[in-house]
Amino acid sequence: MLEPFGVDFIKCHGAGNDFIVVDETGSQQVPESVKPAFARLAGLRGGGIGSDGVIFVSIHDASHPRMQFFNPDGSEAEMSGNGLRCASRVAYDGYYAGRSPLIFETKGGQYETHNFISEPYRLPFVRIHMGRVETNPGRVLANGSTTPFISQSFEVAGEMLVGTILSIGNPHMIITVKRLRDVDWNRLGPALEHHPMFANRANISFVEVLDSNKILVQTHERGVGLTLSCGTGMTASAIAQVLNGHVTNDHDIEVHTAGGLAWVHPQVSHTSITAQLTGNVTYVYRATAHVGWQGDTMVFASGNPMVKTHIFSDETAAYDLFARHSLFDIAMLAGTSLESLVQARGAV
């Protein structure tokens, strides 16, 4: 059994999608064998620290950082767009100081990130080149079909829906609806995530198109549930609307979520699909957690899950002002697991 140990981390978020980021560029803080257990413990809201995922940033080589991403249920995900933005800022502020762009190694492939300060909003932003997006659902669907699944009807929980499947290093189903406020989040999200059509579950995003340059998005993430936003979900949602003829191709699309606002620039052609995702990376606090064991179960070693060592109150306040630009009506999420978070959107 491992001895108790401490973990230094940064709590940060991209468009309200919040993460615990552990910098392991200096030395490994959490042994590989217990990273899933740490993610389950630290990601628990109401009993642990609480987050939409735990990220480990390490050195792949002298020029390339590495990101590992674990969902709050302990499963390792291939990629997270908002999570990668947070990882990029931590790497840029630390071991890879001042280098931009950065080429990250992830379980879902290589991704290029650019760190900069948004002049209009006076906030640190990161732009991700999301790489090649696939319409081939062979690795997403349980039946292995390689026929593109675009604007196809299917049934879930006794309801007929129209969806589009895309892979952005991780699997996505995009459901376009007339009005987000009519979606039964608590019923449809889990039913879709675990639908038997998927080989290894999927991230589910519901999209309402406002006009050719603006969409509303609410995502139910695989292994997480409803989130304030999802970077790959926002990207997949914008691309799906290009494929469905609802938004402008090769143009910045405003993506409005419960957590705030980001921009996706889809580039869809007959030969390839790529996109860029741009948005904030906001530090909330630095802290140290001490963990130990009760039998085979990881627990916090002291009465408090963590000790905060620095709070970024000015940065959080600046983001709260920026988030008010979102056109998403957070009242739509009343009665869901997100209700308490959206009521305190500026204090994730």
Dist. CA 323–CA 318, nearest whole Å: 9
Dist. CA 74–CA 346, nearest whole Å: 26
Quick one: angle between helices 231-243 and 81-93, nearest 10? 130
**Cα dihedral sign, 79-235-262-44:** negative
Q: For residue 272, what are the contacts with CB-CB under 8 A and spacing of at least 6?
A: 132
Same domain, 224 and 341: yes
Taken as a whole, the chain contains a residue count of 348
E-strand ranges in the chain read 5-14, 17-23, 54-59, 65-70, 76-77, 102-106, 109-118, 123-129, 152-156, 159-167, 171-176, 203-211, 214-221, 225-227, 253-257, 260-268, 273-280, 282-294, 297-300, 307-311
Q: For residue 176, what are the contacts with CB-CB under 8 A and spacing of at least 6?
A: 151, 162, 164, 207, 208, 209, 240, 241, 244, 246
Same domain, 184 and 292: no
22: containing domain: 5-129+281-311
**Number of domains making up the chain:** 2
Same domain, 102 and 157: no
Same domain, 197 and 342: yes
The DSSP symbol for 63 reads S
145 in a structural domain: no
318 in a structural domain: no
Same domain, 222 and 270: yes
Note the pLDDT of residue 63.
84
Contact 232, 79 (CB under 8 A): yes
- Which CATH number fits the domain that encloses residue 276? 3.10.310.10
**Cα dihedral sign, 242-247-251-254:** negative
Secondary structure in 3-state letters for 211-226? ECCEEEEEEEECCCEE
Dist. CA 247–CA 244, nearest whole Å: 8
Note the pLDDT of residue 346.
40
Q: For residue 285, what are the contacts with CB-CB under 8 A and spacing of at least 6?
A: 10, 11, 308, 309, 310, 311, 312
Characterize 52-65 residue by residue with b for buried, 16 or more Cβ atoms within 10 angstroms of its Cβ, and e for exposed.
Answer: bbbbbbbbeeeeeb
Note the pLDDT of residue 54.
97
Same domain, 292 and 201: no
321 in a structural domain: no
Q: How many CA atoms lie within 13 A of 294 on its CB side?
A: 5
Same domain, 245 and 219: yes
Q: With CA atoms as reference, report the closest residue to 212 among 249, 247, 245.
A: 247
Same domain, 104 and 175: no
Contact 137, 200 (CB under 8 A): no
Give the H/E segment covering residue 84. Answer: helix 81-93
The DSSP symbol for 41 reads H
143 in a structural domain: no
Q: With CA atoms as reference, report the closest residue to 18 among 55, 52, 47.
A: 52
Same domain, 93 and 220: no
174 in a structural domain: yes
Kindly report the pTM of this predicted structure: 0.91
Same domain, 188 and 119: no
99 in a structural domain: yes
Same domain, 113 and 251: no
Same domain, 267 and 290: no
Q: Is 343 helix (H, G, I), strand (E, B) or coil?
A: helix
The DSSP symbol for 101 reads S
135 in a structural domain: no
Dist. CA 98–CA 201, nearest whole Å: 38
254 in a structural domain: yes
What is the mean pLDDT, run by run of 10 residues, along the chain of 348 residues?
Answer: 89 95 97 96 86 95 93 91 96 92 93 94 95 91 94 89 92 95 93 93 97 97 90 96 97 96 96 96 97 91 88 95 94 86 52
Q: Is 187 helix (H, G, I), strand (E, B) or coil?
A: helix
